[in-house]
């Protein structure tokens, strides 16, 4: 029963969206540039070299961003709030703001 409730909760979160707070880093540096340790220059450089933007939460969890094109350069290395659909360890961004 507990597993069923957990599965339904995760499904509902994905359907209705979640609000995640953290900092935009890159797939190479990950949590190194999380909240309080932002470095826009490094994030920009790593993404330019082929890295992908990721969200790092306050507890250091790195969340992949499914639609990376939704994260523009102005958010690199910044604290943001992302609203979107969460699936596993990734989020599909519907809205992003500082």
Is residue 66 within 8 Å of 91, Cβ to Cβ? yes
Residue 82's nearest CA partner among 91, 72, 73, 74 is 91
Q: What is the pLDDT of residue 52?
A: 97
- Supply the pLDDT for residue 51: 97
pLDDT digits (tens, 9 = 90+) for 30-67: 999 999 999 999 999 999 999 999 999 999 999 999 99
CA distance 61 to 95: 20
Give percent above pLDDT 90 in the chain. Answer: 83
1 has a pLDDT exceeding 80: no
Measured CA to CA, the distance from residue 85 to residue 37 in angstroms comes to 26
Q: For residue 13, is pLDDT > 50?
A: no
| pLDDT reported for residue 16 | 54
Whole-angstrom distance, CA of residue 37 vs CA of residue 88 = 25
Closest listed residue to residue 86, CA positions, set 68, 63, 59, 70: 63
pTM of the model: 0.82
pLDDT at 84: 97
> Averaged over 6-12, what is the pLDDT?
44
């Amino acid at each position: 029963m507990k597993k069923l409730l957990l599965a339904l909760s995760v499904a509902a979160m994905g359907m209705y969206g979640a609000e995640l707070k953290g900092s935009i880093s890159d797939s190479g540096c990950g949590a190194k540039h999380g909240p309080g340790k932002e470095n826009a220059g490094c994030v920009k450089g790593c993404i330019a070299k082929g890295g992908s933007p990721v969200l790092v939460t306050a507890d250091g969890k790195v969340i992949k961003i499914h639609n990376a094109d939704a994260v523009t350069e102005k958010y690199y290395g910044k604290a943001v709030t992302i609203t979107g659909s969460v699936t596993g360890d990734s989020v599909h961004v519907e809205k992003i703001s500082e």
